[in-house]
Amino acid sequence: MSQTPNIQDTINGFQLDDYLETWVDAFMMDRKAQNMAKGTLYYYGWRLKEFLSYCETREVKRITQIDPTLLREFLIVLQDKGHNPGGVHMYYRIIKAFLRWWEFEVEPENWKNPIRKVKAPKNPVVPLNPVNVEDVRKMIDVCPKDTFFGTRDRAIMLCLLDTGMRANELCSINVEDINLITGEIHILVGKGRKSRYAFLGTKARKAIRSYLKFHPTNIEPLWLNRDRERLEYWLLVGIMRRRAKEANVPHPALHAFRRWFALTCLRAGMDAFSLQELMGHADLQVLKRYLKQTSPDLMRAHHKASPVDSL
């Protein structure tokens, strides 16, 4: 078996080798050098690892062995395994990014990028369900109002409902990032390493003040675990499962809080561009998936703006 070439030698042109696994490692190094978020790096690495495993089953070890047929077959395998259209589309985007990066990095002669002949799989915009707010009310009701964990969990749920922030963004908040007078929260590292501001109403601010009475001084993170360290995503999931079990309701997905925020703001008359900024979306296309309007929503909108009735 031939030894894997040194990445630096390959880049410097001393030995132009297209060994697939070596270049995947180099690609991940490039993504890390761009200071991409840990979550993004994890998803890139996970999906490329699965692509590498598939290539091995086909005895494909070099980039120049990849052809459009192999790529199409891989996408079909993903579908057969039960991946939803959005998941398959993400695999396609990551592989495309890798192959285009290699093309730019190496500038190989007499090689045509096979991804150019493979159309992106269709990714229909499927409306996503918001959290059942009545279930959340019951979960909040089971949280004791005079304990660290009770006030923490209650404040977390109200914060998620009132800001629409992502779960990882919530976990990253520090005490100094929040102004309990104005309700302004500075999200320093949102998706894509972009900062933005979110806002809390009166009830959510009051809940956080109650929690801060139990919060140790001189500790930077706002949300703490039992060891007084920063709350992590998986613990946040555990909180929702535990409170849902106590309230005897189905446990909600964390992202469903974000959907409820988006839909509720829309129903209250917030314009789409303000909502886009509050949610930290790069464009309005992403926002569409959150806005699952029901038939009564559409009926009210039509009654309000009926073209014929306004004649």
- Per-residue confidence at 64, pLDDT binned at 50, 70, 90? very high
Integer Cα distance of 136 and 273 in angstroms: 28
Whether the CB-CB separation of 171 and 223 falls below 8 Å is answered with: yes
Report domain extents, the chain. Answer: 7-117, 133-294
Integer Cα distance of 256 and 295 in angstroms: 20
Q: Is the pLDDT of residue 60 over 80?
A: yes
Whether the CB-CB separation of 235 and 242 falls below 8 Å is answered with: no
More confident residue, 226 or 296: 226
- Per-residue confidence at 127, pLDDT binned at 50, 70, 90? low
- Give residue-wise pLDDT tens across range 129-170: 889 999 999 999 999 999 999 999 999 999 999 999 999 899
Fold: same for 7-117 and 133-294: no
CA 167 to chain centre: 9
- Give residue-wise pLDDT tens across range 176-218: 999 999 999 999 865 556 788 999 999 999 999 999 999 998 8
* Residue whose entry in the numeric block shows the structure tokens 């109403």: 201
Integer Cα distance of 291 and 265 in angstroms: 10
Integer Cα distance of 124 and 39 in angstroms: 24
- Per-residue confidence at 95, pLDDT binned at 50, 70, 90? very high
Q: Right CATH number for 133-294 from 1.10.443.10, 3.40.50.720, 1.10.274.10, 3.40.50.620?
A: 1.10.443.10
pTM: 0.67
Mean pLDDT of the chain: 86
Comparing C-alpha atoms, which of 80, 278, 283, 83 is closest to residue 169?
278
Secondary structure (DSSP) of 20-80: HHHHHHHHHHHHHHTT--HHHHHHHHHHHHHHHHHHHHTT--BGGG--HHHHHHHHHHHHH
CATH class for the domain made up of 7-117: mainly alpha
- Per-residue confidence at 263, pLDDT binned at 50, 70, 90? confident
Whether the CB-CB separation of 152 and 211 falls below 8 Å is answered with: yes
Comparing C-alpha atoms, which of 129, 132, 87, 96 is closest to residue 114?
96
More confident residue, 123 or 236: 236
What pLDDT was estimated at residue 11? 43
- Per-residue confidence at 280, pLDDT binned at 50, 70, 90? confident
More confident residue, 294 or 98: 98
Average pLDDT over residues 282-305: 67
